[in-house]
Amino acid sequence: MTDLAPVRRALLSVSDKTGLVELGQALADRGVELLSTGGSAKALRDAGLVVKDVADVTGFPEMMDGRVKTLHPGVHGGLLALRDNDQHMAAMTAHGIKPIDLLVVNLYPFEETVAKGADYATCIENIDIGGPAMIRAAAKNHAFVNVVVDVEDYQPLLDELAAHDGQTTYAFRQRLALTAYARTGAYDAAVSGWMAGALDEPAPRRRAVAGKLAQTLRYGENPHQSAAFYVDGMNRPGVATATQHQGKELSYNNINDTDAAFELVSEFLPKDGPACAIIKHANPCGVARGTTLKEAYARAFDCDRTSAFCGIVALNSTLDRETAEEICEIFTEVVIAPGAHREAKEVFARKKNLRLLTTPGLANPAESGLMLRQVSGGYLVQDKDNGRLDVSDLKVVTKRAPSDQELADLLFAWRVAKHVKSNAIVYVKDGATVGVGAGQMSRVDSCRIAARKAEDMAATLGLDAPLTRGSVVASDAFFPFADGLLTAAEAGATAVIQPGGSMRDDEVIAAADDAGLAMVVTGMRHFRH
């Protein structure tokens, strides 16, 4: 095997015909013989290029609605034959097989078909067979054969041919092969994942996951960790599909926190009023509604001004100038919103390091999906936590029932608690968080931390008492003992929402009654470890 391998004969068969004619013309100009199939061949011929049908190579016409056209030794022998193996070359001569030096294939749009909500039969029909088979064959034989599966590799291929007088280097062919195997792997993962869902199989024997590189990252959580960001093709509004208008590239931590912020704020529909969530280290510093977006931001900020510094701001409505000016009063890493007015963008333009991301809408918190977490030797897979409750789902277990205002705040607190690391405690008053306790090993400690943060903010704001006085409190899981509940009551909470289900529920309920608290249980837990 030599390092350089010439490209004399190419097979082009693509679903996405972007750049196909230009590529075909450039290859033809170099004297490369073009083979093709179906619509690809027509597009090339319509552009005036000389193209040989694969059917003329195989001796068989395309048949079975195009299902059978390239699965033939005349094609696969041309891709797989080792050019430096005398037996392989003799077999090619004996059977009239000519080498194929370049394969350009992109696959039937299976992922796009699924994303459009197509029915089962249509999805099945959009599973490519011949394409992956050819790609794998060409990639295996990268010692001699080039395989291109992405439109974005057309120009690098042409640059390589120009640099080496119609030849390619072994290193280049290796990189193409790597991309090719990853593409077929991702394609199979998409098919198997879709089938698992279509067949309602939550735990298939084998689970494949895949992604496409969106960007390399300077480092991961820490500078000594390399990292990259991959997207899975889901068209879900959020950090993966947002448009960035200004600022430097997002970091690993930026992406993680922005996702957490936008998923949280998407719990609050714009029809119910503006809402804002401020996130730091994937936990909310403050979440609030307001009569205006500016007010929602200000109320969220007043929950924990210290932690909000260098945080992520997510909004549920189009960013306006007034809110933008308010946000610019402190250093903020990222702002994400479903749109931004021109005047708001102009305000942010003065802060060149502030990233502004916009999305076409909010994420649907009730939408199903999968969550993955790596552990040593494997990974855990679970359904996305898309649990949502309304007032009718709540059960009053205390002598006193909550008031209408308490009920509204309890539901608000419950939706926030879903996005707080366990053990999670969230105090809410009048549609705004006033204390958040996250990620503690003891639930009572989360209660204390949240209350202490409220006390600190009361001092900062010059209030006579912390805003936890007269608030409600949410706990993401049951109170195993009454101590956490009593700590919340000491902080001033008047009503509680929690899942219930502890063996000491009766003790906790009795403690709530003694303290004059109203308590509702959900029957649903929101652990977020």
* Rounded Cα–Cα distance for residues 206 and 192 (Å): 9
CA–CA separation, 462 vs 381, rounded Å? Answer: 47
Amino acid at site 520: V
Q: Do residues 209 and 187 lie in contact, with contact meaning Cβ atoms separated by under 8 Å?
A: no
Query: For the chain, how far is it from start to end, CA to CA, in angstroms?
Result: 53
Identify the residue whose tokens are 């963008």: 345
DSSP character string of 321-361:
HHHHHHHTTS-EEEEEES-B-HHHHHHHTT-TT-EEEE-SS
List, in order, residues 6 or more apart from 527 with CB less than 8 Å away: 422, 476, 477
The tokens describing 36, both together, are 């093709």
> Which tokens in the block code for residue 519?
């308590």
What number of helices (H) and strands (E) belong to the chain? 19, 23
Q: Which two tokens stand for residue 483?
A: 């101590």
- DSSP letter at 152 equals G
84/87 Cα distance (integer angstroms):
9
Per the CB < 8 A criterion, the answer to whether 41 and 201 are in contact is no
* Per-position DSSP letters for 357-404, written without gaps between them: EE-SS---TT---EEEEEETTEEEEEE-------GGG-EE-SSSPPPH
Question: 89 Cβ partners below 8 Å, 6+ apart?
Answer: 81, 83
Contact residues for 90 (Cβ-Cβ < 8 A; gap 6+): none
Q: Which residues form the catalytic set?
A: 140, 281
* Residue 309 contacts residue 331 (beta carbons within 8 Å): yes
Burial of 93 (0-12, 13-18, 19+ CB in 10 A): exposed
Cα–Cα dist 325/114, whole Å: 42
